[in-house]
Structure 1
Amino acid sequence: MAGITDPRPPLPEWIRECYDLLCSHADPPDNGKAAVQVIEYDDATDVLLSDSELALEQRDVEYALTRLLERGYFYEVEGELRVTSPEEQC
């Protein structure tokens, strides 16, 4: 999400790969409970840990999710990670 005017350094490629993977596993908007893509936090952790291409350890997963939340790629509501701008990112 870092744009040309964003003073923050871009996320590392491996964290952007985590984001793309999580978006591909997120539930689509249902116009009821959530109008955005949603993935449970625990499911997101499981998805990232089980991906053989990323080959992440628990600490890596926690770091990636923290960075994605801090940078605004997701926001958390009651244990769910919600995509902030699905039309732009996923």
Structure 2
Amino acid sequence: MFSLINSFRIIALLEGVSYILLLFIATPIKYLGHEPMYVKLLGMPHGILFLAYIVLAIVVGQEFKWNTRTLLIVLAASVIPFGTFYVEKKYLKPNTK
């Protein structure tokens, strides 16, 4: 049904969206609005998605025989805002040539 690469693409997208929501919506609401509820609601799902992203990145890297530099870029992208979107476009899209 879902290939490994498609599963990773979905997790990368969800992880990226959850990170953006956590950083740019929930955290400002917590500190400026004194309302920590949104961080609590988004924190756990983001953490699970982050761990899934890391595990799948390693598995996909082994499957596609990525070199160490590529794997490190893909892993580092998980802690940079919008980084997973870059990875999806650069490393996970099928070649259309």
More helix by proportion, 1 or 2?
2
Pick 1 or 2: higher relative contact order, CA cutoff 8 A, min separation 6.
2
Q: Same fold (TM over 0.5)?
A: no
Which of the pair is proportionally richer in strand? 1
Q: What TM-score does the superposition give when structure 1 sets the normalisation length?
A: 0.33
TM-score scaled by structure 2?
0.31
- When Rg is computed on C-alpha atoms for both structures, the one with the higher figure is 2
